[in-house]
A and B are shown apart, each in its own frame.
Chain A
């Protein structure tokens, strides 16, 4: 807001009808919540000023993630602690999509399911102990990775409640509204470690099976680290997604 003294130019163009300058990148103007002047501050508004100001603040948010362009890997942060996001997350109340992990049944389900799958795999003819434990371990790691660290959003969400605030969050990031070292998260971290120790023991420390099991464990443990919370890694990011000209198949 600035007070501009002196007469307006004649043939008065309303300020909203002035095109936004090209230099102002992306012309994303923030939703009206950002840095509003105090109520009843009646002074002449130059809308272009507000355009510049709010655009800058949006850019600051977008570059918050430690983005490194033109490299093999980029890291970006999803979500954020802007006012709107915090309001939408707390406005939803209990996030039913993540609340079930705190139920007692959900804890005991992990060993039960692991044992059940173990029994089923053992029932296959000519199954050895080391292969069956490896299969169980890999299956558990794969499923928990898919469930907790790959799928994002809330499947049954209505736009009325959150406006898509959880769209980019994995289930792990939604559990206990993003708090770390909660009982559920401690349990969910311990179970794969325990399962790995048991399965390496019963695979008689075969180097190949050990490597397989350990790699699977690392895949599941890394996304659980608080330091990687809400960070996304893009390997070999597409620099230009525009498809090239299609060529007829050569023969």
Chain B
């Protein structure tokens, strides 16, 4: 209490030197007390303090400590928030000027490295429209193009071109707004209805870009704390979607159903042990994998998804319009209703020769994306002519199943010719890798008996499913670095173009950007619109080019 000075001044035997000091202290106390009474409201505080004491020093000390704590809090300086980075430094004006003077701008684009130059130099230039048969700019020769996705020849179709021109005249080019903001036109909803009735799902929603479809649909459903079990071999767009979703990602070995089950069991065990809250849980896979052409074992995935109570996100960007008797994708191939796949993603750019992507599923799944999926909310809606051409392509593949029989015949022919240089020549269980791929074993393609004799001339390995028109060719006995391997593959591509007038391509990757680097491979896109002769010529040419380039390396 402030009265501490008062009792000491009332002492009897004060040494002489202290008297003036005490007198000063006493007068100071008196003037302080009188000043205090002059402050408005001070009697209340004094009365409060007097009545507070009540002969209970401990409680008074507690209250004084509380007041001290409040005062300390009030006097403390503000600290930095979370959002600003930890290495925040306060700079003086001259230091800022110095830093600004020292700053040298980095080039916006790096000088192309050797790999960049090599990649740029290896791009063939064509004159005229893209398609199955293109005219090379360098020599003016007509060559067969197996580097462009065109499963059923929609790019060549004159009907599609006419539909596009008619729509262009009626609607103009763009839709000039996001779908939720004046961007939706009748042809969009018409195509959504058509694709959902084609697949047999409740509803569908279209996106203006195929890449953005999956990378935006995943984060619209999953966020922090949710669990996503994903195949390690999924494509780049899915990787980006997983990254944006911030979910807990658990990977399972590529197309390995045993490993998938192991991962699902681990998640279950962990949740039981920790007793955490219930989260959303998804399995993510592709129909036909973009990175290698393998096909998912859908019946097994469906079984596991039901057993462990997961939702399935299936990316059919490549398999839609390629697999199945009518091109409905892997769901049709395995005779599983597409409505049982919770979230099914497809592309109009690959299978339908138009552009954009779609997501098919239940009414709620699609409705949710309209306001929660960033690509649907923020990007301008699909141009009308892409929607009408997609509708037209959908009508074509529904009425002409022959397109798919000729595609499958071409694939079979192509694979049979190339299988002569594969480790295990074409049989009914092809593409079974050493690590036990069981997916294709359930689906015999031909009646021929498996031959188990190892092939001495083997130089390539094709993991792609025998029904997949997307074929990835990997080298056996690969050289030490990826760069060397890319150069060998480019030699094959160049040799094939020079000798047989066929364009294929190396699978182009963004090295350093993917979570798991895919191995270098050659990518071949077959088409049902090719004649048998053209397919045979391309396959034989590719086989010879591979033998010539890779044979001499050994």
Report A's interface with B, CB cutoff 8 A: 3-20, 26-33, 36-45, 47, 50-51, 79, 81, 84, 86, 88-90, 158-160, 163-165, 167, 176-182, 186, 189-190, 193-194, 196-197, 200-201, 205, 210, 214, 217, 221, 226, 238, 240-242
The residue in chain B whose Cβ has the minimal distance to the Cβ of A197 is: B63
Residues from chain A with a CB closer than 8 A to the CB of B511 are 39-42
Q: How far is the CA of A240 from the CA of B224 in the complex (A)?
A: 24
Q: How far is the CA of A11 from the CA of B113 in the complex (A)?
A: 33
Q: Which of B269-277, B303-311, B402-410 contacts A (4 or more CB under 8 A)?
A: B269-277
Q: Are A31 and B516 in contact (CB under 8 A)?
A: no
Q: Are A13 and B434 in contact (CB under 8 A)?
A: yes
Residues from chain A with a CB closer than 8 A to the CB of B242 are 31-32
Q: How far is the CA of A181 from the CA of B70 in the complex (A)?
A: 11
Most buried by B among A26, A42, A47, A189: A42
Q: Are B233 and A14 in contact (CB under 8 A)?
A: yes
Q: How far is the CA of A26 from the CA of B54 in the complex (A)?
A: 62
Q: How far is the CA of A37 from the CA of B515 in the complex (A)?
A: 10
Q: Does B476 contact A (CB under 8 A)?
A: yes
Residues from chain B with a CB closer than 8 A to the CB of A217 are 66
Those 4 A-B pairs whose CB atoms lie nearest each other, nearest first: A241-B275, A177-B81, A178-B82, A164-B224
Q: Are B476 and A179 in contact (CB under 8 A)?
A: no
Given contact pairs A17-B256, A40-B115, A177-B83, A27 touches B225 in the complex (Cβ within 8 A):
no
Given contact pairs A36-B512, A179-B80, A241-B273, A27 touches B66 in the complex (Cβ within 8 A):
no
Q: How far is the CA of A36 from the CA of B516 in the complex (A)?
A: 11
Q: Does B414 contact A (CB under 8 A)?
A: no
Q: Are A44 and B482 in contact (CB under 8 A)?
A: yes
Counting chain B residues whose Cβ lies within 8 A of the other chain, the interface size class is 35 or more
Q: Does B8 contact A (CB under 8 A)?
A: no
Given contact pairs A16-B518, A160-B374, A163-B223, A197 touches B513 in the complex (Cβ within 8 A):
no
Q: Are B461 and A12 in contact (CB under 8 A)?
A: yes
The residue in chain A whose Cβ has the minimal distance to the Cβ of B262 is: A19
Q: Are A13 and B433 in contact (CB under 8 A)?
A: yes
Min CB distance A82 to B, Å, is 10
Further pairs besides A32-B515, A38-B512, A159-B219: 12, Cβ < 8 Å: A4-B480, A12-B434, A14-B518, A17-B232, A19-B258, A31-B242, A51-B251, A86-B82, A89-B83, A165-B246, A193-B66, A200-B63
Min CB distance A241 to B, Å, is 3
A-B contact pairs, 7 of them (CB 8 A): A11-B423, A15-B516, A19-B256, A20-B259, A44-B480, A44-B481, A159-B220
Q: Digit string of B31-55 for contact with A (CB within 8 Å is 1, else 0)? A: 0000000000000000010011010
Contact of A181 among B79, B244, B516 (CB under 8 A): B79
Q: Are A158 and B233 in contact (CB under 8 A)?
A: no
Min CB distance B279 to A, Å, is 11
Q: Are A86 and B85 in contact (CB under 8 A)?
A: yes
Q: Digit string of B251-288 for contact with A (CB within 8 Å is 1, else 0)? A: 11111101100110010001011110000000000000
Q: How far is the CA of A36 from the CA of B255 in the complex (A)?
A: 25
Min CB distance B212 to A, Å, is 13
